[in-house]
C-alpha cells in the first residue's frame, strides 16, 4: 500500500489508550463533502477499507474525506491491558472520541459486522453524529451458526507459516463462501489481516478478543437489536448482505426492509461474511448511496 494515499493519525481513546486511524482524501471542513467513517469487523482493522476509501476519496468516487479506524487491540492501535474493555460499549466511546479528534459533527458510517453492531449502539448515545449508515453483512438478528464458525477459525491453533503460504491458507478456510475472489483478492486480504513478526504473518489483533467467543455454543441465545435498528432506520440506510453469508439471513434483510420502506438492500454476489466492499457490486451500491446523501447538502 502506498502511504502517500493516506495520512496516519494517533489519538487518545475514551480512557486514554492510544488509537490509530487513517484519513484519505480532502481534509474535513464545513465546505467539504460529508465525511465517511469506516468501522471494521471483530478482529479486523482499517486496512480492510483501503481500496474502498481510496476510491471514495477520489474524484471518481465523490471526493469525500474518509476515515478508517483501528479499534483498540487491533491493527496499529494499542493493546488494552484490561481485556474486559474489548466491548461494543467501550469501542463505541472510542468511535465518538475519534469523531471529536477529527472534528466530525456528522458522518456517513460504514460498519462491517462488529462495526455495524457499534452503530446500533452509537444511535442511542450520539445520534446527531449520523448522516447515513451502511451495514455490511450485519443486522439486528445474528445467526449463532455464523458466530460459531467465526469462533472456530479465529481460535484455531494453526496459521500460515509464511507469507507465501498465507493466501492459500485463507482460501482453504473461506474459499467456499467467496467464489468471486481471485488470487489478487486473497493476497490483499492477507495484507489486511496479518502483520509481520520476524518474517512470519501473525493475525493483527489481541488474541483476547477471539477468546471472548469460546463460551459460545449452539444453544446460546443471542438478543436481537430491533429497537436499536428502528432508531437507526430514521437515517438513510443501506444494508449489504454477502450472498453466502451465514451471519445475516435473507429473511432478516426482508424484515429490515419491511419495517422501514426506505431501507436499501444490496447483495454481494459470490461473497460470504463479510463482503469485500471495494469489489464490483458493493462499491457501486455504496458510491450511489453516499452520493445520494452528499448531493442533498
Predicted local confidence at residue 77, as pLDDT: 98
**Mean pLDDT along residues 102-124:** 97
Predicted local confidence at residue 296, as pLDDT: 61
Predicted local confidence at residue 235, as pLDDT: 96
Confidence band for 3, pLDDT divided at 50, 70 and 90 = low
Predicted local confidence at residue 297, as pLDDT: 59
Predicted local confidence at residue 191, as pLDDT: 96
Average pLDDT, the chain: 95
Which residues partner with 24 through β-bridges? 66
The pTM for the full model equals 0.96
Close Cβ partners of 286 (under 8 Å, ≥ 6 residues apart): 52, 56, 110, 134, 238, 240, 277
Structural contact between residues 219 and 145, judged by C-beta atoms closer than 8 angstroms: no
Domain 3-145+224-294 has CATH 3.40.50.1820: yes
**Mean pLDDT along residues 36-45:** 98
Confidence band for 4, pLDDT divided at 50, 70 and 90 = confident
Close Cβ partners of 284 (under 8 Å, ≥ 6 residues apart): none
153 pLDDT more than 70: yes
pLDDT, one tens digit per residue, over 50-108 is: 999 999 999 999 999 999 999 999 999 999 999 999 999 999 999 999 999 999 999 99
Cα dist from 63 to 40, 49, 131, 291, whole Å: 21, 16, 17, 10
The C-alpha cell at 136 is 455490511
**Mean pLDDT along residues 4-15:** 93
Coil vs helix vs strand at 54: helix
Predicted local confidence at residue 33, as pLDDT: 85
Predicted local confidence at residue 294, as pLDDT: 79
Predicted local confidence at residue 295, as pLDDT: 62
pLDDT, one tens digit per residue, over 219-239 is: 998 999 999 999 999 999 999
Name the phi and psi angles at 21, rounded to 5: -150, 160
Predicted local confidence at residue 146, as pLDDT: 94
Please give the Cα distance from 23 to 6 (Å, whole number).
6
Confidence band for 32, pLDDT divided at 50, 70 and 90 = confident
Structural contact between residues 54 and 65, judged by C-beta atoms closer than 8 angstroms: no
Q: Kindly tell me the sign of the dihedral angle through the C-alpha atoms of 175, 179, 184, 185.
A: negative
Nearest 5 degrees, angle CA 278-CA 187-CA 49?
A: 30
**Residue boundaries of the structural domains of the chain:** 3-145+224-294
Nearest to 116 by CA among 34, 42, 205: 42
Please give the Cα distance from 170 to 160 (Å, whole number).
8
Please give the Cα distance from 243 to 264 (Å, whole number).
16
Please give the Cα distance from 24 to 67 (Å, whole number).
6
Question: What is the share, in percent, of the chain residues with pLDDT greater than 90?
Answer: 91
The per-residue DSSP string of 211-258 comes to HTTTT--TTPPPPP-HHHHHHHTTS-EEEEEETT-SSS-HHHHHHHHH
**Mean pLDDT along residues 110-118:** 98
Question: What is the share, in percent, of the chain residues with pLDDT greater than 70?
Answer: 98
Structural contact between residues 62 and 56, judged by C-beta atoms closer than 8 angstroms: yes
Structural contact between residues 200 and 225, judged by C-beta atoms closer than 8 angstroms: no
Amino acid at each position: 500500500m502506498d502511504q502517500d494515499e493516506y495520512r496516519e493519525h494517533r489519538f487518545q481513546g475514551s480512557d486514554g489508550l492510544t488509537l490509530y486511524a487513517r484519513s484519505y482524501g480532502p481534509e474535513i471542513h464545513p465546505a467539504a463533502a460529508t465525511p465517511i467513517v469506516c468501522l471494521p469487523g471483530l478482529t479486523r482493522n482499517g486496512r480492510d477499507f483501503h481500496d474502498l476509501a481510496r476510491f471514495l476519496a477520489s474524484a471518481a468516487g465523490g471526493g469525500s474525506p474518509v476515515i478508517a479506524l483501528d479499534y483498540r487491540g487491533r491493527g496499529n492501535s494499542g493493546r488494552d491491558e484490561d481485556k474486559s474493555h474489548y466491548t461494543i460499549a467501550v469501542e463505541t466511546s472510542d468511535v465518538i472520541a475519534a469523531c471529536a479528534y477529527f472534528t466530525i459533527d456528522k458522518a456517513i458510517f460504514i460498519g462491517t459486522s462488529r462495526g455495524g453492531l457499534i452503530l446500533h449502539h452509537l444511535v442511542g448515545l450520539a445520534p446527531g453524529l449520523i448522516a447515513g449508515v451502511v451495514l455490511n453483512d450485519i443486522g439486528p438478528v445474528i445467526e449463532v451458526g455464523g458466530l460459531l464458525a467465526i469462533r472456530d477459525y479465529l481460535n484455531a491453533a494453526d496459521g500460515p507459516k509464511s507469507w507465501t503460504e498465507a493466501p492459500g491458507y485463507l482460501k482453504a478456510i473461506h474459499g467456499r463462501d467467496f467464489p468471486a475472489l481471485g488470487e489478487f483478492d486473497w493476497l490483499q486480504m492477507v495484507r489486511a489481516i496479518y502483520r509481520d513478526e520476524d518474517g512470519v504473518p501473525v493475525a493483527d489483533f489481541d488474541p483476547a478478543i477471539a477468546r471472548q467467543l469460546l463460551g459460545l455454543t449452539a444453544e446460546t441465545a443471542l438478543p436481537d437489536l430491533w429497537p436499536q435498528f428502528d432508531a437507526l432506520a430514521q437515517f438513510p440506510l443501506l444494508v449489504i448482505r454477502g450472498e453466502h453469508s451465514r451471519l445475516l439471513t435473507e429473511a432478516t434483510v426482508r424484515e429490515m426492509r419491511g419495517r422501514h420502506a426506505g431501507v436499501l438492500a444490496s447483495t454481494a454476489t459470490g461473497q460470504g461474511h463479510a463482503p469485500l466492499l471495494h469489489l464490483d457490486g458493493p462499491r457501486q451500491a455504496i458510491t450511489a448511496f453516499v452520493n445520494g446523501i452528499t448531493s442533498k447538502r
